[in-house]
Structure 1
Amino acid sequence: MTVRQPWDALSGTRVVDLAHPMRRGMPQSPNHPPYRMLLERRHGDLVRPDGGSAANEIVVTGGHVGTHIDALAHVSQDGRLHDGSEAATAQSATGFSRLGIEGFTPYVGRAVFLDIAGLHGVPVLPPAHEVTVEELEGALKRAGTGLRPGEAVLIGTGWSRHWENPDPEVFTGQRGGVPGPGPAAGEWLAARGPCLVGGETLAFEHIPARSGHSVLPVHGRLLVEAGVHIVETMRLTALAEARVTQFLLVLAPLPLVGATGSPVRPLAVIPAGDDT
């Protein structure tokens, strides 16, 4: 009898990195502390008797910078969190006593990619484009699959292509807005009971021109009411280019106790050469 090893299932697959590299000056929401990294010790600062030397760094970052996941404690509505409790009773200078990101179980499971830009035959949706229920249903039909509760749903807008734009306000949408699901589309997603949803923009949802993050109704519906985690600033262009519609997603945030979010490096495991 041949014993099948757990890694045998990964033969003939390739891994696609869905995270943007983190660097100083990368686009981010003005609502969050920026990412900073500096070398605290350089080679030569301390040399061991055998000639060896080491370098190390200090990293300072907000939990919602770069590719990251929102904890349920990130958003409240009328002063209350997802569990119905008062946010004020859970928060302190050291973080949240409940619903922090350390409570998120690392996700290893099926993800469905709904390529809205591909549905329209364009690489990138225009700024401030509101993704509708009809578009989500159209992309799902085009994907040739269905959605099951407890799984992951990723929304493709093509916005990753603006990540390296010399003008960071293009990606952040400070002037022109960004594409994403509107309230009706957010309701459609919540009704399907995913564990998490993800997208390519800073706030996942539709942001009209010149409005910034003044209101985020989809965040309230997903995080507070439905308990659905949101992954933002993902790099989904490789999935769109390979026409991948479903795959194994591996996603694990840092277990930062009491934090409202965490950097994350989502990995898509797909069959090698898959273009369907």
Structure 2
Amino acid sequence: MNHRTALFQSTFLATILAPAIVLGADVASSPWGPNDEIGRLNMITPESRKAALDNLNPEKTYDLSVEYYIGMPSWQAAGDPHFQMWMTHTPKGTQVDDPMSVGDKMNAHVSYTGSAFSMYAHTGTHIDALNHFGLNGKVWNHFSADEHLGDRGWNRTGVEKLPPIVARGVLLDIPAAKGLDELSPGYRITREDIKYTLTVQGTDIAPGDVVLIRTGRMRHYSDGSRFMTNAPGLGMDAARYLAGDRQALSLGADNLSFEAFPSEDSENYVPVHTYLLAQQGVTIMELVNLEQLAEDKVYEFAFIGTPLKIRGGDAAPLRPIAIPYTSAR
């Protein structure tokens, strides 16, 4: 165990570990009380933020987000709208239309450009709120759709409730540990894959860490069809290891499905999502760009990310960054 991991397993963090959750075939009650809407993010404290931001090397900061553009990978096959962008004002158009009633001379002098865009909430680099998937008509902490979901989204567990995430981050470069550029299509990441990767990298996961999983699928991001087809992803046993045994704060990956398909559970087509969101209160980040971190072999860093505050939303765009640590003191 290195110095920084030991820091995160110090006494102050031990006092805020997520209490045990008893699992069944239903959603879980929050150990943080009946009004809790953010789940495992309750583990973020002033002390944990201070520890995460200690001993940084800001010489290079990593942008972990992807670009949004027409034709980008999205869930169109599931019937969701793709990313669309259109111009609402152009320099020449304003000269013709004079929308601000300032006259031709002013419009010729002041070049006005404006645009609008629309997309499915789970497009590009984003974070899933705890209401994204549930069980039996309820989401995390037994908030029911019948009572809390209206025509304008959820009135409980909306993505706007999520706090800024400031925590120690850990990269798991699964293919690199196996001597591969990327995992094979449909590969299901196991508990043993994670343990082996940690050993190869010489890293560890402490309670309250953000854990980011590289599959290598981001290498094909510019090819929407290839990117979306049969992506590798997390398996249930690996999810139980990260969220249950290691008490991760939040999980993310470089694919758009996070988990691997087909499902391991004949009675649940997204068992990893429902386990993490509805039963563990663990938020999920998808389409996290981990290629530069992996290339530079940066496995531990300060993770900073905050979603757009979309009231009642089940997800929101996220632009996370990673700041490496200096060498251990």
* TM-score, length-scaled by structure 1: 0.88
Give the Cα separation in 2 of the matches to 1:101 and 1:155. 22
Alignment match, 1:23? 69
AA of the residue aligned to 1:153: V
Give the Cα separation in 1 of the matches to 2:73 and 2:181. 20
Match of 2:169 among 97, 111, 134: 111
Q: Provide, for residues 129-164 of structure 1, a one-character-per-residue CA deviation record: whole Å limited to 9, x for no partner.
A: 110100011112223232222220001111100111
Give the Cα separation in 2 of the matches to 1:271 and 1:225. 33
Give the helix-richer structure, 1 or 2.
2
2:294 aligned with 1:246:
no
8 A Cα contact 2:207 2:249, kept in partner: yes
Alignment match, 2:227? 171
Give the Cα separation in 2 of the matches to 1:83 and 1:243. 38
Alignment match, 1:46? 94
8 A Cα contact 1:72 1:227, kept in partner: yes
AA of the residue aligned to 1:36: Q
Give % identity. 33
Give the Cα separation in 1 of the matches to 2:232 and 2:184. 7
8 A Cα contact 1:178 1:208, kept in partner: no
AA of the residue aligned to 1:172: M
AA of the residue aligned to 1:41: H
Give the Cα separation in 2 of the matches to 1:271 and 1:14. 10
Which runs of 5 or more residues in structure 2 are unaligned?
1-52, 96-101
Give the Cα separation in 2 of the matches to 1:200 and 1:92. 32
* TM-score, length-scaled by structure 2: 0.74
AA of the residue aligned to 2:83: Y
2:231 aligned with 1:185:
no
**Secondary structure at 1:141's aligned position in 2?**
helix
TM-aligned CA deviation for residue 9 of structure 1: 6.5
Match of 1:135 among 185, 193, 198: 193
Alignment match, 1:86? 144
Give the Cα separation in 2 of the matches to 1:236 and 1:55. 33
8 A Cα contact 2:58 2:323, kept in partner: no
1:9 to 1:112, Cα distance in 2 relative to 1, 3 A: closer
Give the Cα separation in 2 of the matches to 1:8 and 1:94. 41
Give the Cα separation in 2 of the matches to 1:222 and 1:97. 21
AA of the residue aligned to 2:243: A
**Secondary structure at 2:146's aligned position in 1?**
helix
Which runs of 5 or more residues in structure 1 are unaligned?
1-6
TM-aligned CA deviation for residue 85 of structure 1: 2.4
2:178 aligned with 1:120:
yes
TM-aligned CA deviation for residue 56 of structure 1: 0.6
Alignment match, 2:37? none
Alignment match, 2:207? 149
Alignment match, 1:3? none
CA RMSD of aligned residues (A): 2.1
8 A Cα contact 2:64 2:319, kept in partner: yes
Match of 1:217 among 256, 265, 271: 271
Give the Cα separation in 1 of the matches to 2:163 and 2:209. 13
Give the Cα separation in 2 of the matches to 1:161 and 1:121. 16
AA of the residue aligned to 1:35: F
1:271 to 1:185, Cα distance in 2 relative to 1, 3 A: closer
2:315 aligned with 1:261:
yes
Alignment match, 1:37? 85
Q: Which runs of 4+ in 1 moved over 4 A?
A: 7-12, 47-50
Give the Cα separation in 2 of the matches to 1:9 and 1:37. 41
Structure ID, larger Rg: 2
